Structure 1
Amino acid sequence: MSDNMSEKQQELISIIVPSYNVEKYIDACVESICGQTYEKLEIILVDDGATDRTGEKCDEWADSDDRIKVIHQKNRGLSGARNAGIREAKGEYLAFIDSDDMIAKDYVETLYKCAVDNKVLLAQGRSNNFFKEEDIKEFTDSDGCKVLSSAEMCRILMSEYRKGWGIVMTKLFHRSLFDDLEFPEGRIHEDEYMVYRLFWKAGRIALSDRIVYYYRSKREGSITHSGFSLKRLDVLDARRKRYEFFEELGEKELQGYALLSLCQAQADCLGKLRNCDIDDKDKYIDEIKKELTENFREVKRTPTVSSKKKLSLWLDIYMPWVKRRK
């Protein structure tokens, strides 16, 4: 740790780790957290009703490091586990790590320094995917930190794909950002409901060029990589709420991008619904098609959405096979 950071290391930082049936992976995750260069940590492991040895492993880690505390609760899903961690947390800043992933040894130091040096409430780093842990050694990144406004962050979030932007795990939050926000329990796509609100509330966001988060790809049993189900339609509810959020604020440009991203999700869900074997899928297909048709008419009238994006969306809706062939 740098001397400069040693002088600044005064504030407690809480790391919240929702944990459910990850006995194969949780040791690597917690080890990467315990090995942080920033040491003043509170590590909250939330055993979310695991049915394997995850809860036992959490307790073993708590016995080995006095910075670790464990919450055992009935299964409430990822949002419920994160919310329980937030309520327990004593830190001035909060981070959320998924229990099958890993973080760089300077994850906390990097994001905390970005936040403090730039006097912001939210700092974000980069992420990269790995299949085997040895893949991490090959990752390359660079130093540097810049600051963007919440409006610019939301615009990029909704109009461009950038790895790690749409998830909370690449970010360090001042605890005040959660004073009146919590993760939506009973929903998946939790981060779709939250990230734009957190960006907006923060006002300014510091972006680090460092790869701080290592995302484990295609883990067996992962919700992200499981088959399509009606729960996946939660993404439409999340993006609809995002559109309504910017509409209520009168942010016309962001409202346009929010509607575009809702249409993109609707087109994607239609494709997946058509290829699945869910009962009564035609009912959902008809409902989504009707709303998408109305939304696309509005997108075509939106001046802030480029012609290229409008054409791309038209292809997604009416000729989806064209993109699949590329």
Structure 2
Amino acid sequence: MKKSKQALVSIIIPCYNHEKFVQDSIKSVIAQTYKNIELIIIDDGSKDSSIEKIKEMAPLCEQRFTRFEFRHRSNKGLSATLNEALEWSYGEYLCSLASDDIMLENRIDDQVKLLNNKKIVAVFGSVYLIDEENQNIGEERIVKSHLYDFKSIILNECQIFSPTQMIRSEHLKKVGGYKDGLIIEDWYMWLKLAEIGDLLVVPDFFAKYRQHDNNTIKKLDKMHRGRLDVLSFFKDSPYYEKALRNVYWLNCLELAAKSNYEIKYLLHLFLIDPKRFIIDFFKKTYILKKLFLSKILKLAN
């Protein structure tokens, strides 16, 4: 491995069936102004031509990076792939980049400087939203500067974008890596990291977050079950009951206007604690209450 005065940054790209996007992701890492980078790509059993697309980029990667590694094997899932790459990495800091997302060229430089504060275990930023053709879709997700602790994260009182993450590798390894079998592996990881120190978010733009039909975020019921799975590991937390209610309300808001499906979540909240439900309900937005009541009347008829 080449020696450098800069801290080594490990960038992990887990790839699965992203033949159309993976080269753009790799190119965005190659374009980083920060020099001392190792790039680790693992193809998790893609059934398209992702492997061939990655191999085409190998000569440039070997020339550009302090260390470049690529492997492909049968499908094991995202968390297993991330953990495999984590064990394979040597960097002081680690970024995982989805194989359909893009880094902005100053990202690594800027984040390494922010992590000079030893009390911060991870740093995140703002994102541009892009479509399948790499075009901005006219929306931005801008965060305000904030330090988030465990309480704010478990209660979903935070705004953190996974495509912008940079984490201290030692802490990521200390908490055991990514939890296998979870759909929302990043929320679980942020909670575990927040037990060690604070997570910093800044308004700087660090990534372009691709929106398309296969985004997990668009599979709302799957996301709901994923949130409940994560919370199941924190039942001993004094914030668990409130966090559970917040998850049900969050999913009601996401599902509102799409179907009658959110009714079951609201009824579940009511059965858990009728008094608390009434208090929470009247704190929520007028539009949610209007949608809920109109659908209850529709079902009654």
Tell whether the structures are fold-level matches, with TM greater than 0.5: yes
Residue aligning to 1:13: 9
What root-mean-square deviation, in Å, do the aligned CA atoms of Structure 1 and Structure 2 show?
A: 3.9
Q: Secondary structure at the match of 1:61?
A: helix
Q: For residue 89 of structure 1, report the CA deviation from its aligned partner.
A: 1.3
Q: For residue 259 of structure 1, report the CA deviation from its aligned partner.
A: 2.6
Matched, 1:50 2:46: yes
Alpha-carbon separation, structure 2, partners of 1:221 and 1:263 = 23
Alpha-carbon separation, structure 2, partners of 1:140 and 1:194 = 21
Matched, 1:188 2:197: no
Does structure 2 retain, via aligned residues, the 8 Å contact 1:264–1:313?
no
Matched, 1:264 2:249: yes
Matched, 1:212 2:210: no
Of 92-101 and 63-72, the range deviating more from structure 2: 63-72
Does structure 2 retain, via aligned residues, the 8 Å contact 1:13–1:94?
yes
Using the aligned pairs only, state the percent identity. 23
Residue aligning to 1:248: 236
Residue aligning to 2:120: 120
Alpha-carbon separation, structure 2, partners of 1:270 and 1:95 = 31
Query: CA 1:120 to 1:222, structure 2 compared with 1: closer, same or farther past 3 Å?
Result: closer
Residue aligning to 1:158: 156
Q: Secondary structure at the match of 1:211?
A: strand
Q: For residue 97 of structure 1, report the CA deviation from its aligned partner.
A: 0.6
Residue aligning to 1:294: 271
Matched, 1:24 2:20: yes
Residue aligning to 1:279: none
Query: CA 1:300 to 1:141, structure 2 compared with 1: closer, same or farther past 3 Å?
Result: closer
Aligned residue pairs, count: 288
Q: For residue 24 of structure 1, report the CA deviation from its aligned partner.
A: 1.0
Q: Secondary structure at the match of 1:159?
A: coil
Q: For residue 102 of structure 1, report the CA deviation from its aligned partner.
A: 0.4
Matched, 1:34 2:26: no
Does structure 1 retain, via aligned residues, the 8 Å contact 2:248–2:266?
no
Deviation per residue, 1:175-206 (Å, 9 max, x gap): 122222333333323333333333x2342233
Q: Secondary structure at the match of 1:208?
A: strand
Deviation per residue, 1:253-284 (Å, 9 max, x gap): x44641332222453688799668xxxxxxxx
Does structure 2 retain, via aligned residues, the 8 Å contact 1:189–1:234?
no
Q: Secondary structure at the match of 1:38?
A: coil
Of 76-85 and 36-45, the range deviating more from structure 2: 76-85
Residue aligning to 1:106: 106
Does structure 2 retain, via aligned residues, the 8 Å contact 1:111–1:208?
no
Alpha-carbon separation, structure 1, partners of 2:256 and 2:137 = 34
Q: Secondary structure at the match of 2:188?
A: helix
Q: Which stretches in structure 1 are left out of the alignment for 5+ residues? A: 1-7, 277-284
Does structure 2 retain, via aligned residues, the 8 Å contact 1:19–1:46?
yes
Alpha-carbon separation, structure 1, partners of 2:218 and 2:76 = 20
Query: CA 1:98 to 1:299, structure 2 compared with 1: closer, same or farther past 3 Å?
Result: farther
Q: Secondary structure at the match of 1:116?
A: coil
Query: CA 1:255 to 1:187, structure 2 compared with 1: closer, same or farther past 3 Å?
Result: closer
Q: Which stretches in structure 2 are left out of the alignment for 5+ residues? A: none
Deviation per residue, 1:123-181 (Å, 9 max, x gap): 11111211243439997989xx95524146427x6136x4xx1x432111001222223
Does structure 2 retain, via aligned residues, the 8 Å contact 1:92–1:174?
yes
Alpha-carbon separation, structure 2, partners of 1:91 and 1:158 = 30
Q: How does 1:162-181 map to 2 (within 5 A)?
A: 162=159, 165=160, 167-178=161-172, 179-181=174-176
Q: For residue 236 of structure 1, report the CA deviation from its aligned partner.
A: 4.3
Does structure 1 retain, via aligned residues, the 8 Å contact 2:249–2:266?
no
Residue aligning to 1:201: 195
Alpha-carbon separation, structure 2, partners of 1:107 and 1:34 = 12
